[in-house]
Amino acid sequence: MAFHFRFGAGDLLRCRFSVSPRWETQEAVRTLLRPARQQYHLPWLRRIGAAADGLDLRPLWLLMPQSGHNPDFLSPPPLGPTVTFEEELARVRSAAAAADPEAVREDLRRSLVCTPGAAESELGRRMLADPVRAVRELADLFEQAWAALIAPHWPRLRSLLEADIVFHSRRLAAGGLEALFDGLHPDLRWSDGTLTIDRPTHHDRSLDGQGLLLMPSAFVWPEVVGGYDPPWQPTLVYPARGIGALWTGSAGPTPQALARLLGRGRADVLCALDEPASTTDLAHRLGLAPATVSAHLKALHGAGLLISARHGHRVLYERTPLAIALATGGRPRRQAGRSGVAEPG
């Protein structure tokens, strides 16, 4: 048994990437529930421990079975490449309010029955009795979880996710879908226009011209997730590259020789660009004013040490090979393997 996404000719032109802060919030909540997911997030768990203790996440956990259906009405795929958490949450609320209550109830029921006893529990019965109200209350709980668990760390997380998209977009451009899927996760197989995810459950969906939405996630490791029933766009969520270094500090101090060559500020900016990042990301990371970072980036770009790429409304900067050599003293960079974990060079 497996998940199958079946592509037609039109679907090959409609594959897209997106970053979802709402999805990261959901998967962060799931990570608190599953110790097997926590290996690379221990520093984050220490930082959010007190805030997490102040939340009652049981209603959300009840709808997060170990395997099986997750409610689509709680997690519709994002409509664009860059959306805010507030925009996504408003869509959750409006979609549930506009839907047939029976459709919302069935969506919740399908998830509850995947966990023994969940549908018969007091919380489960309350959800099924008034499913539209349940989705509103669950959306409110997501909002609390976002503020406590993700929002303080979102610049770091967004930088990681957008850097992953830049990397895989180039892989797609260079080698097509086969090369892209081969590098996303070991459980994925591409053959004869069908993307297969090795799973103990069965799901078979023709994309029917909608294409496939691809979303990197910091918290979904070690899994890769595929799904969504019509009318939602078929979506694949995979572990982002480099999560092994997500919560660590920089690789080390800026080399003194590089600081003498470029000036301390520009050298610090160059060394901070282990992965593509925006002006705002770097300002947050380095504790500098955005205007100061922008001036340094402009100078480094003009000197041929950086290249830039637009992602939505944000411009990401990345080091050229010469800049990598300068920043690392000629040492090879740490790369990310297919599992999304940074591997030692």
Pairing of strands 342-343, 306-311: unpaired
Q: Which of 33-42, 56-65, 125-134, 330-339 has the lowest mean pLDDT?
A: 330-339
Q: How many CA atoms lie within 13 A of 118 on its CB side?
A: 20
pTM flag (> 0.95): no
Query: Which CATH number does the domain 249-343 belong to among 1.10.3720.10, 3.50.50.60, 1.10.10.10, 3.90.940.20?
Result: 1.10.10.10
Which one of 32-41, 172-181, 219-228 scores highest in mean pLDDT? Answer: 32-41
For all residues of the chain together, what is the average pLDDT?
Answer: 87
Query: What pLDDT is recorded for position 231?
Result: 82
Which stretches of 113-190 are DSSP H helices?
122-129, 131-145, 154-182
Measure the CA–CA gap between 275 and 341, rounded to whole angstroms.
Answer: 14
How far apart, in whole angstroms, are the C-alpha atoms of residue 156 and residue 277? Answer: 9
Residues in contact with 340: Cβ distance below 8 Å, sequence separation at least 6, in sequence order: 185, 221, 238, 239, 240, 241, 242, 243
Classify strands 213-217 and 235-239 as parallel, antiparallel or unpaired.
Answer: parallel
Residue 15: closest CA among 181, 174, 160: 181
Q: Where do the domains of the chain lie?
A: 2-243, 249-343
Each residue's pLDDT tens digit, 224-240:
988 777 888 899 999 99
Cβ atoms 194, 61 nearer than 8 A: no
Average pLDDT over residues 179-185: 87
